[in-house]
Each structure stands twice: as C-alpha cells, then as structure tokens.
Chain A
C-alpha cells in the first residue's frame, strides 16, 4: 500500500509563465516528475533554469502570470519557503549564503526536523567528509567543494521527497564532484531496498554530474520554454555536437 495517491504526480508544473520586473522569463513550462524519478534540466546561461529553481524554492521577486505548480496535489505557489520544505521539497543551492553564528550541525538538525540521531549524523558526516565543518558557521569561509558537500549533508539530513539541485558541479574540483554526485545518487536511489526512492530535479549547465547520477529524463530549457525532452546522455551528446541551438532545432523535438 502506498500512503500517497499514485494518480497524483509528485510535482506537476503546468503552463507556467513567469516574469521578473515585468519581463517574461518563463513562457509556458509543462513538467511532471513522479515519485522516484530523476530529471535533468539542461540549458544555456540565461535560459531561465535558475529562475525556475528559485520559483520552486519560493524565493521572492518572481511573478507567476499564468499556470500552476502542484506538489503532492497541493498548490506549491501558495506556500512559504519553509512550508514547502516541510512538505518535502529539498534544495541544494549553487552558492549558499554564509550565516554567521549558525553552525552546519544546527542547520542539519533543523533540516531533519529536530534532533538528528548520532549514528545518522556520523554516517552523513563520514560520507561527505563534513565532520570538521559541523561546528563551523555554515558556509562561512567554505571552499567551493565544502559548500557543495555541506548542501548535500543538509539534504541527506532532511531526506526530502523531491530534491532540487542548482548546478551541483559548478565551482567544484573532480574529487568533490565524485563525492557530491555519489551523495546525490545515494539520496535519490537509496541504499537499501526498503528505502523509498526520492525524486530529483538536477539543473546543470555542463552535465558533468551525470557521470555519477543516473537520470531518467532530460529536458532542455531554451528561451523560457522546454524545447526538448529525451535521454539525458543523448541530449548532452547533441548539445556537445551542435550546441544548444542545434539541439533545439533537431527533428525529434520539433515534431
């Protein structure tokens, strides 16, 4: 038995139009993510990827002019940032802000919804090598790799049903990409059969992270619209060969 209605998709974005200061940035996005699916959102700089991410997070400054976003059947757009998080949306920021006086351990605890069992904390700290950072002010003076590992540690503590990742590989060296990618795979696919797989939406400009995470579906966001959908690795091959413009022009997607 499932405790959720399987006929309702986990995330359903329908005809989403969105403006920033009067300028339309997203022009009709339709995207459905079911429980357990990993989606990848590709797209050139300025195509609206981060705008979509921030809108799903709930950050202010974005005006939805049309369309809807439903998460587990609820109107996500009507919820505050923290309500979304408690409902099961987790986020890993590209450049998380430093918060003086608030330690990584505290943020992991609040993300977990209270106390974090010592065993769980140790396991996460070990997997992401964040043990020396637990008592540091979160993101204060963290290197690029440390910041990404810290974001992943917080998500592993939170265990959201849907995790959103904004450019998880940007500004990170290869060793750290492997650690971060491994943690994403662990979060989304689960270690044990008993763990319910979680859904993910990974925003990536380069696609490097896909060496570590198996994604089910790829989308290309171009000029405010989802222009292509397909196997993520195929899409990346096309983009590498033909650039984003060429990829969007291809026959398969134009049909």
Chain B
C-alpha cells in the first residue's frame, strides 16, 4: 500500500497536513498542563518489526503479557484484532463472520486509503495537535496506531481487540488511534497497552480520537500494564452524536513511573451520553494523574464518571473529574472514591463542575477519601465472615466496577490484584 506521501492529495489536503505540522512544531516544547514533565528528546522512536501470519506465531512471552491487558490469541472470542509491536502493525485481521462490518488497519494505512474522509472528518479533529509536547510528538513523529471503523448499523457483539506493545527500552511509542462508529453501530473495543517484562524505561504517547455516530454505542476498555520507569501520556478526544453512547472503562493495576491522562468527551448530539469508569491501584512510586472531562453540549446529554482508587506504597494519585454544561437540559454526576492504604501515599480527589450559561443544567459530585468503615466490617462479621475476609469483600466491592467482555484470564488478574489490594487493607 502506498503511504500518504505517495498518494495524490488535493491542495486543500496538503494545506491541512501542513497546518497540523506547523501547529505541532510550535508546541514541540510546550509542557502539559498536568503531570510531571517528561524529556521527550531522550527517547528514540520505536523500531520496525516483522509481520506475523497469525496471533499464535507471536512470541509466547509477548502474548502472555498482552493477555493481561485483555488481548487474547484465540480469535474466536473476538471480532477483529490489531497487534502493534513497537512501530509495526504485525497483525491485523477481521474475523470472517464480521467481514464487511468492521475495518481494522493502521492509521497510516487508513490515511493512505481514505485520505478524503480521514483528513476532513477524523485526522486531528478531536484532539488538538498543539495541545502540548506529547500531541506534538505524535503529530511530528508518529509510529502508527490503529484505525477501527464499524459500519453503519453493524452490531458487533464480540469485542474488537487492539494491543500496542513496546518490546525495547529507552524508546517512545507515539501512536495515533482512530475509532469510528458509523450511525447505529455498536461495538466493544478492548485495548491493552503493554511493555515486555524486560523493558523498563520508555515513553508511550498515544493520541486517540473516537467518533461515535448518531445512535451508535461504543464501549472502550483500556487496561494498562506499564513498569516503574515508564512514562505514559495518552491524549484522547471523543465526539458523541445524537442518541449515541460512549462508555470508557479504564483499569490500571501495575506500577508506572508516571501517567497523566485527561480524556475529553464532547456530548455534541442531542441525548448523547458519556460514561467514564476507572479502577486505579496506585503502587510503588507511581505518579498517577487521571481524570476525564465531559462537555455537555447537545440538549438532553448526560454523563457519569465513576472512579475508584486504592493507593499504597509511596504512590501519588490524582483523580480528577470535570463536567462542563453548555446546554440547559443536561445532567451529569461524578462519583470519586478513594482509600489510602499507606502513610507514604497521597491521594487527591478533584471534582470540577462548570455551567457555562446553562441555568437548567444539573451537575453533581460525590468525592470521598476514607478508610473502610469498621461498622461495615463488623456487619459482615455478624453474618459469620472472618475479619480479614470481610475487609477483602468490601475492598473487592469497592473496586469491582462491571466491565463487560473481559477475558477470563484478565478478569482473574483483576481479581488477584484486588485480592492483593484487599490483603494490604488488613
């Protein structure tokens, strides 16, 4: 397939690309508003890898690591798969049963194949390339990323899976992902971002732009497995049209050097809805700064954001939630709860609500950081549950947000991490 440089673009399209590049160049040194600064110059970009004929032929250790973020090798459980190792999309396939309903390829391929649609509608349309140095890094030095499109009306009941894997140290993986759900489509996308067990230092900068068409429903689940010296800076923008729903599930159960993400969902359509669920386990020296912003623009739009944080060791966790109402008829709620398990750990819960000229908007929040209440433990004990099991049950319940479509192995891993968390609570 030709690259975008080799195909014939209109003057307008070339101007658009130049505009993106110029904006990115101007922002190349612009620090992010939140999170510790990362010196992006110290990393080289990830390398090329060989493509594989099947998921089974991917190195076992890589497959096993990927499984822990929800990526399975058994494609009968999935409608489509995308696997990127370092900078190369080594495997992409749509299962036969879903042929014609789902498209999966790298964004570079999508740009070359559909330049008109990509540039007019999706390419840097939901995320500003000049937002900060990380968006600029991806705009200027992109290392692929996935493009997933679900066709109008297609109800893809089996999850679509994507894995972005880093197998070398001291690199930055700069991916640009785009998901498009056409009108009335439904899909559940599970993406895992992983690094090989012997990789320590590195940077993952990921741009994700999601477009949820009228009446469509996208459930997007992301499970992160990083390492103690790895920095992560995702930048996500979601545009939700009339009667469409976007559900974002995020799970972080492993240590990370620092992660800072603040996805922005724009509920542009009437009766559109955005839901953010996150489960965060702060470990070791992790600096975790996560949150979401929902802009309620369309009449009757709604949003809920639920965050559950347990932090221990020396971790610092910021849990943010911003709701901005720009229409009279909208409702949104934040529910953000944390348990601090270590005297050396810090947690911030930062709800942030704004009504911008929307007198009828109803925005609310509950934020709490507190230990497990003794009376709850005693209550379960009075039913015959030993003390430690009661604490474990409550901690599990605290972290157990229902996330559909997770493979059993991942479910078990989450359970095990929660059990470890619960043990810590005793």
Partner-B contacts on A (CB < 8 A): 57-59, 80-82, 85-86, 91, 93, 96-102, 106-107, 110-111, 113, 137, 154, 158
Q: Which 8 A-B pairs have the closest CB atoms?
A: A101-B397, A85-B384, A81-B381, A111-B383, A82-B381, A102-B397, A97-B375, A86-B384
The total number of A-B Cβ pairs within 8 Å is 67
Q: Does B406 reach chain A (CB closer than 8 Å)? A: no
Contact with A along B396-410 (1 / 0, CB 8 A): 111110000000000
Instruction: List, in ascending order, chain A residues with CB within 8 A of B386's CB.
Output: 80, 82
Closest chain B residue to A138, Cβ basis: B379
Partner-A contacts on B (CB < 8 A): 337, 373, 375-376, 378-387, 390, 393-394, 396-400
Selected contact of B398 from candidates A86, A96, A100, A113, CB within 8 Å: A100
Knowing A82-B387, A97-B375, A101-B400, say if A110 contacts B380 (CB, 8 Å): yes
Instruction: Let me know if A59 and B383 touch, CB within 8 A.
Output: no
Instruction: Let me know if A111 and B396 touch, CB within 8 A.
Output: no
Minimum Cβ distance to chain B for residue A158 (Å): 7
Instruction: Let me know if B394 and A158 touch, CB within 8 A.
Output: no
Knowing A106-B393, A137-B397, say if A99 contacts B376 (CB, 8 Å): yes
Instruction: Let me know if A102 and B384 touch, CB within 8 A.
Output: no
* Residue of A102, A154, A158 with most chain B CB atoms under a 10 A cut-off: A102
Bound together, the chains give a CA A97 to CA B377 distance in angstroms of 10
Bound together, the chains give a CA A113 to CA B397 distance in angstroms of 19
Instruction: Let me know if B383 and A102 touch, CB within 8 A.
Output: no
Where chain B touches its partner, the secondary structure class is helix
Instruction: Let me know if B380 and A91 touch, CB within 8 A.
Output: no
Closest chain A residue to B384, Cβ basis: A85
Instruction: Let me know if B378 and A81 touch, CB within 8 A.
Output: yes
Instruction: List, in ascending order, chain A residues with CB within 8 A of B373's CB.
Output: 97
Knowing A102-B394, A137-B397, say if A97 contacts B384 (CB, 8 Å): no
Knowing A111-B383, A111-B384, say if A99 contacts B378 (CB, 8 Å): no
Closest chain A residue to B396, Cβ basis: A101
Bound together, the chains give a CA A93 to CA B393 distance in angstroms of 20
Instruction: Let me know if B384 and A113 touch, CB within 8 A.
Output: yes
Instruction: Let me know if A107 and B378 touch, CB within 8 A.
Output: no
Instruction: Let me know if B385 and A110 touch, CB within 8 A.
Output: yes
* Residue of B379, B393, B398 with most chain A CB atoms under a 10 A cut-off: B379
> Can you name 19 A-B residue pairings with CB atoms under 8 Å?
A57-B382, A81-B378, A82-B381, A82-B390, A91-B382, A96-B379, A98-B376, A99-B379, A100-B337, A100-B394, A100-B397, A101-B397, A102-B394, A110-B380, A110-B383, A110-B385, A111-B383, A113-B384, A137-B397
Bound together, the chains give a CA A87 to CA B382 distance in angstroms of 11
Instruction: Let me know if B394 and A99 touch, CB within 8 A.
Output: yes
* Residue of B376, B383, B398 with most chain A CB atoms under a 10 A cut-off: B383
Minimum Cβ distance to chain B for residue A95 (Å): 10
Instruction: List, in ascending order, chain A residues with CB within 8 A of B400's CB.
Output: 101
Bound together, the chains give a CA A154 to CA B400 distance in angstroms of 22
Bound together, the chains give a CA A149 to CA B382 distance in angstroms of 17
Instruction: List, in ascending order, chain A residues with CB within 8 A of B385's CB.
Output: 82, 110
Selected contact of A101 from candidates B375, B378, B390, B398, CB within 8 Å: B398
Bound together, the chains give a CA A85 to CA B375 distance in angstroms of 16
Minimum Cβ distance to chain B for residue A159 (Å): 11
Instruction: List, in ascending order, chain A residues with CB within 8 A of B380's CB.
Output: 99, 102, 107, 110
Instruction: Let me know if B394 and A85 touch, CB within 8 A.
Output: no
Bound together, the chains give a CA A218 to CA B390 distance in angstroms of 35
Instruction: Let me know if A85 and B378 touch, CB within 8 A.
Output: no
Minimum Cβ distance to chain A for residue B339 (Å): 11
Bound together, the chains give a CA A99 to CA B400 distance in angstroms of 13
Instruction: List, in ascending order, chain A residues with CB within 8 A of B393's CB.
Output: 102, 106, 110
Bound together, the chains give a CA A194 to CA B375 distance in angstroms of 37
Instruction: Let me know if B383 and A154 touch, CB within 8 A.
Output: yes
Instruction: Let me know if B379 and A93 touch, CB within 8 A.
Output: yes
Knowing A80-B387, A82-B387, say if A101 contacts B394 (CB, 8 Å): yes
Bound together, the chains give a CA A100 to CA B396 distance in angstroms of 10
Instruction: List, in ascending order, chain A residues with CB within 8 A of B390's CB.
Output: 82
Besides the contacts A82-B383, A100-B394, A102-B393, what 19 more A-B pairs have beta carbons closer than 8 Å? A57-B378, A58-B381, A80-B381, A81-B382, A82-B381, A82-B385, A82-B387, A96-B379, A99-B376, A99-B379, A99-B380, A99-B394, A101-B400, A102-B394, A106-B393, A110-B393, A111-B383, A113-B384, A154-B383
